[in-house]
Amino acid sequence: MIWDDEFETLPREALAALQSKRLRDLVDRVYSAVPFYRRKLDEAGFRSGDVRGLGDLPNLPFTTKDDLRETYPFGLFAVPMERVVRVHASSGTTGKPTVVGYTRRDIDTWAELMARTLTCGGTTKGDVVHNAYGYGLFTGGLGAHYGAERIGATVIPISGGNTKRQIMLMQDFGSTILLCTPSYALNLADVMAEEGVDPASLRLKCGLFGAEPWTESMRGEIEKKLSISALDIYGLSEVIGPGVASECIEEKRGLHVFEDHFIAEIIDPSTGKVLPHGENGELVFTTITKEAFPVIRYRTRDISRLSVSPCSCGRTHSRMDRISGRTDDMLIIRGVNVFPSQIESVLMKIEGVEPHYQLIVSREGSLDVLEVQVEVGEAIFSDEIKGLETLAKRIEREIKELLGVSCKVKLVEPKTIQRSEGKARRVIDKRKL
């Protein structure tokens, strides 16, 4: 199912022409409205009117998270505050949050994009949408809310937390679509099992999960435990919030980037050079329709790759791979780059291992030590020491094979690794450098 038949299936040449025109307009607009961009464009040798189209994109300057911090709070807004109808802000785990703004038209665009996203999962006006993304400064809750309302579905604005009550309301209200983070979906499944609620007895049919990186194996786990289709959606507040890209239920292979609004590029994070389609690198977005808070070549620090191969759903928009890591989440252990998602992929390959794990990095003497904590559930428990030790050794060996880093697997009791009510905390880095 497609929400916007015209723009989501635009032939690639027409799409490129549209992107070129919108990019030109964007650069002209920010050049005159935002001193920060004027200075950056000047430094890069661009004057207003110099940018003619997509071909100029690789030469435009990047925008980074640091730029957003330096211009805190409203320095990158491209319209007067009278036209800004809402702000959102990131959690800001270090220092000040990053603040983004929306005009009335931006809010309208966002609702359309989230309507597209929800339609990717088959949502129609007959559906009951259980929206467990957090409401507030975080973009997840309100972004999804407006999209579901745009479709005409019934929205349950439950927000996060109070899991038992969420399950009760899902049963009572007959929720059909679930929106939350993937780790919270697993948490819901666990609590349902504890409470003796059979997920198959609910009316849930599809979940759209985002706001944190997850894996194919987690998808399998969620789909099995909750008896639903699980789709990956992508977005970040600096670009618009959720609604940047979404998987389609037809293929569930890569997320269609809504390219009539956002231009995606993949770059080498160390050199900044644009990489060809199919290569892994850092995702970079340029927003070509936003009014209040447009960004030029915003570096997401998310690792992915792009593909333009045709999709059976009929959308012509290129697809990005699910996020495989963060350029800044990357752990460097004994000089080797390690992404938590790689370790997760090893664990998920082993029958019976639950997707709850934690990585503890410490330093003994001058050596980095990686400990992987894995919960022992019934499926992998053995009454013999050698059974459990063989399992721990196997995980250690497979991690070593994949990453080239040796680690120590520590088996822990079930439910001892903290469950998330939002983003899962996978890494504890105790190194004091």
Partner 1 sequence: MKVEQISIFLENKSGRLAEVTNILFRAGVNIRALSLADTADFGILRLIVNQSDRAKQVLKENGFTVGKTEVVALEVPDRPGGLGEILKILHEAGINVEYMYAFVQRSGDNAIIIFRFDELDKAIRVLTGSGVRVLRGEEVYAL
Q: Is 383 in the site for partner 1 (CB under 8 A)?
A: yes
Closest CB to partner 1 among 274 and 412? 412
Closer Cβ to partner 1, 152 or 387, answer by number: 387
CA separation for the pair 407, 409 (Å, rounded)? 6
Task: Give the Cα separation of 398 and 350 in Å (integer).
Answer: 10
Does position 388 interact with partner 1 (CB under 8 A)? The reply is: yes
Q: How far is residue 330's CA from residue 334's CA, in Å, rounded to a whole number?
A: 13
At closest approach, how far in Å is the CB of 421 from partner 1?
Answer: 18
351: nearest Cα among 308, 372, 381, 316: 381
Q: In this structure, what token pair is assigned to residue 222? A: 């969620």
> Taking CB under 8 A as the rule, which mask of x and - marks residues 340-379 in contact with partner 1?
------------------------------------xxx-
267-304 burial, b at 16+ Cβ within 10 Å, e below that, comes to bebeeeeebeeeeebbbbbbbbbbbbbbbbbbbbbbbb
Residue number with CB closer to partner 1 (343 or 374): 374
- 406 binds partner 1 per the rule CB under 8 A: no
389 contributes a contact to partner 1 by CB under 8 A: yes
Nearer Cβ to partner 1 (257/370)? 370
Query: Can you tell me which residue has the tokens 């009791």?
Result: 413
Say how many residues touch partner 1, by CB under 8 A: 17
Q: Per rule CB under 8 A, is residue 75 in the interface with partner 1?
A: no
| Interactions with partner 1, residue window 208-227 (CB under 8 A) | none
168 near partner 1, rule: CB under 8 A: no
Of 200, 367, 385, 433, the one binding partner 1 by CB under 8 A = 385
Counting beta carbons within 10 angstroms of the beta carbon of residue 146, is it exposed (0 to 12), middle (13 to 18) or buried (19 or more)? buried
Please identify which residue in 48, 201, 309, 416 interacts with partner 1, judged by CB under 8 A: 416
Cis peptide before 242 (omega within 30 of 0): no
Q: β-pairing, 99-103 with 84-89?
A: antiparallel
Task: Identify the DSSP state of 423.
Answer: S
Residue 414 found at the interface with partner 1 (CB under 8 A): yes
Contacts of 225 (CB under 8 A, 6+ apart): 186, 189, 193, 199
Among 382, 390, 406, 418, binds partner 1 (CB under 8 A): 382
Binding part of the chain for partner 1, among 239-247, 262-270, 315-323, 405-413 by CB under 8 A, reads: 405-413
Q: Considering the rule CB under 8 A, would residue 47 count as an interface residue with partner 1?
A: no
Which positions lie near partner 1, rule CB under 8 A? Answer: 376-378, 381-385, 388-389, 410-416
